[in-house]
Amino acid sequence: MQIRAIDHLVLTVRDIEATIRFYCDHLGMRHDAFAPGRHALHFGTQKLNLHPAGAGFEPRAQAPTPGAIDLCLLTDTPLADVIERLTRAGIPIEQGPVTRTGACNTLSSIYIRDPDGNLIEIANEHSQGHQ
């Protein structure tokens, strides 16, 4: 067997609506209510399924906890534009821009927090490969 991609990840969240607003309004994702009580955030060819804390769906992680995820999201939008947009929205930049190593390329990254305190890295890829 050889794994080729991640289809989706699950975020355990305290407030589904606040999470939807944050990711859709500030990060440009698209909300989808795909079954009764089920919500997902779509971007590119991936999605984040949202599970409410304390009422997760089965099967689920052994210890689902809001704020336990570090997630790196790639964008083609220049980081200067991303920083300006987030700053206008009152979302603090925790760190960056900094250089990081991504899965396929070197990244220029900034870090923010979502409503649950998850660490969200927003990055531009550089095609020269790993450093």
Q: How far is 41 from 117, CA to CA, in rounded Å?
A: 17
Q: What is the pLDDT of residues 53-101, one digit of tens each?
A: 988 688 889 999 999 999 999 999 999 999 999 999 999 999 999 999 9
Among 83, 75, 76, 78, CA closest to 112: 83
State what percent of residues in the chain have pLDDT above 70. 96
Domain 8-126 is classified in which CATH homologous superfamily?
2,3-Dihydroxybiphenyl 1,2-Dioxygenase, domain 1 (3.10.180.10)
pTM value is 0.92
The catalytically annotated residue of 17, 58, 94, 121 is: 121
Q: How far is 95 from 71, CA to CA, in rounded Å?
A: 14
The tokens of 42 are what? 């779509």
Predicted confidence at residue 127, as pLDDT, reads 76
Using DSSP's 3-state secondary structure scheme, residue 21 falls into helix
94 noted as active-site residue? no
